Amino acid sequence: MGINPEGPPMGGAEAAQLDADELAETKGSRLDKLRGRWRALPRWQQWLVLSIVALVVFFLPVINPPIITTEPGTDFPLACFDMARFALVALGLNVVVGQAGLLDLGYIGFFAVGSYVAALWTSSDSTYVHIPFLWTLPLAMVVTVFFGVLLGIPTLRLRGDYLAIVTLGFGEIIRLLASIVPALRGNVGFQNVGAPPGTHDGKQIFDNSHGTPWYMMTVAIIIVVMLLLGNLERSRVGRAWVAIREDEDAAETMGVPTFKFKLWAFGTGAAIGGLSGAIFAGQVGFVNNQKFDVATSMLFLAAVVLGGSGNKFGAVIGGAIVSYIPNRFIEIANYKYLIFGVVLIVLMIFRPQGLLPARNHLLAAIGRIRQWTGTASGQPEAAAATDAGRITLRKEEDQ
C-alpha cells in the first residue's frame, strides 16, 4: 500500500491538506459546523434522518407548503417535477465535473439525445417501431453512452479544456441537427410521446398536466441512482476518479489508467443525462428543437457548482435550487441566465467548493489510520478530538 505512516515525502503533503480540510471545517461557516456535526453522527442515525427527509421530499407536491409553494405563478407539482429533473441532471453532471474533474459544458446535448430517443420510439409522429415508454429509459441511456464515448475518445486523451469546448459545441450541434435532419422533424417535433402505463378512475396516471406522479417517479429514480453512485464512489472506480480529479499526472504515475476511468465517468454522466432527457420528454409529451438551448447547460453546471461539486447531496440540492428560484420568483425568471452566470464567477472566486463541499474519503481515511497508529502529531487538537470520537463510535458499531 502507498500509505506509510512513517512519513514518506507524500505523507507530509497529505497531512497538510488534511489539516487544511479539518481546519476549514472547525473555523468555517455555520454550514460547515453543521456538516461536521452531521458527520460525527453514527451511520444508523444518518440513515434515519435521511429516510425522514426522503419521505417528506417524496410527498412534497402533495403537502404543498404555503411559503415554499410556487403557486399561483407556476403549478407546484410541475415545479417540483422540474426541480427533480434538474436534480437528476445535476447528479449525472456531478459524476463528470465533481467526481472526475472533467468540465462538460454540453450536458444539454445528452439530455436532448435522451429526449429524442424517447420521442422516436414512442411518439405517434414517428414511423419507427413503437416500444413501451419505460423501455426507452434504458435505451436512451445506451444511446447517450454511445454518444458520450464517441465524444470522449478523441478529447479525453487531451487536456481538460478540449473536452470543455468540444462538449460546448456538441450541445449546440445536437440542437442544429434536430433542426436540419428531416427525420428529427425540426420545429414541428414529435407529439404524444409515451408515458408509463397505469390508469386511475379511468384516467391515465402519468398525464402531461399532472406533475405529482412524474415527480414521485423521478425522486424514486434519483434515490436509486444515488445509491448506485454511492457504491460506485466507494469502489475502485470512484477512488480512481478522485485521484484523477486531485492530480491527473500523479494518478497516472501511480498506475491509474486515467483515460479509461475518465471515459467511465463521462459515459456514466452521459447515461444519467439521457435518462433524465427521456423522462422529461415523457412528462412534456412533446419534443422539438426549441427545448434544448445550450444556455441550459450552463444552468446545469451552475447547479453542480452551487451545490458543491463532488458531493451528490450537494448536486441534488443545487439542481433543485437552480430550478426552484426562477419558478418561485417569477420577476427574476428572465434574468436567470445572467444571474447564474454571475453566480458561477462569484462562486469560483469566493467559495469554489460550493454549499456542501466534497468529502475527501481517501484523505480522511488516511487521517484515521494515522490516528490509530499514533502518528498524527501535526494535527490541530480539535480536529484530532473529533476524529478520535468518530473512530470510537465506529468501533462500537463494529462490535
Cell of 391: 473512530
Query: Which of 105, 170, 114, 119 is closest to 142 using CA atoms?
Result: 114
Q: Which stretch binds other proteins (CB under 8 A): 17-25, 201-209, 348-356, 358-366?
A: 348-356
Could you tell me if 268 and 99 are in contact, meaning their C-beta atoms sit under 8 angstroms apart?
A: no
Question: x/- binding map, residues 20-59, to other proteins, per CB under 8 A?
Answer: ----------------------------------------
271-300: which residues touch other proteins (CB under 8 A)?
A: 294-295, 298
Question: x/- binding map, residues 89-118, to other proteins, per CB under 8 A?
Answer: --------x---x-x-x-------------
- Which of 337, 386, 388, 390: binder of other proteins (CB under 8 A)? 337
How many angstroms separate the most distant Cα atoms in the chain?
71
DSSP assignment letter at 203? E
Amino acid 40 reads A
- Which of 47, 128, 135, 372: binder of other proteins (CB under 8 A)? 128
Amino acid 268 reads T
244 half-sphere exposure, CB direction, 13 A CA radius: 31
Is position 173 an interface residue for other proteins (rule: CB under 8 A)?
yes
User: What is the distance between the alpha carbons of residues 145 and 104, in angstroms, rounded to a whole number?
Assistant: 14
- Which of 59, 169, 205, 207: binder of other proteins (CB under 8 A)? 169
Q: Which stretch binds other proteins (CB under 8 A): 82-90, 210-218, 331-339, 379-387?
A: 331-339
- 3-state class of 385 per DSSP? helix
User: What is the distance between the alpha carbons of residues 251 and 72, in angstroms, rounded to a whole number?
Assistant: 52
What residue has cell string 443525462?
Answer: 273
User: What is the distance between the alpha carbons of residues 194 and 1, in angstroms, rounded to a whole number?
Assistant: 52
The full length of the chain comes to 399
CB of 363 to other proteins, least distance (A): 16
Cell of 110: 445528452
CB of 105 to other proteins, least distance (A): 6
Is position 67 an interface residue for other proteins (rule: CB under 8 A)?
no
CB within 8 Å of 395: residues ≥ 6 apart = none
- Which of 1, 55, 67, 180: binder of other proteins (CB under 8 A)? 180
Is position 340 an interface residue for other proteins (rule: CB under 8 A)?
yes
Could you tell me if 147 and 155 are in contact, meaning their C-beta atoms sit under 8 angstroms apart?
A: no
Is position 181 an interface residue for other proteins (rule: CB under 8 A)?
yes
126 vs 283, beta carbon nearer other proteins? 126
Cβ neighbours, 10 Å, residue 127: 8
CB of 337 to other proteins, least distance (A): 4
- 3-state class of 190 per DSSP? strand
- Which of 133, 170, 300, 324: binder of other proteins (CB under 8 A)? 170
- Which of 108, 145, 222, 305: binder of other proteins (CB under 8 A)? 305
Is position 384 an interface residue for other proteins (rule: CB under 8 A)?
no
Q: Which stretch binds other proteins (CB under 8 A): 14-22, 151-159, 212-220, 314-322?
A: 151-159
Could you tell me if 100 and 322 are in contact, meaning their C-beta atoms sit under 8 angstroms apart?
A: no
Amino acid 227 reads L
CB of 11 to other proteins, least distance (A): 22
Task: Name the residues that contact other proteins, by CB under 8 A.
Answer: 97, 101, 103, 105, 121, 128-129, 151, 153-155, 157-158, 160-162, 164-166, 168-170, 172-173, 176-177, 179-183, 294-295, 298, 301-302, 305, 334-335, 337-338, 340-345, 348-349, 352
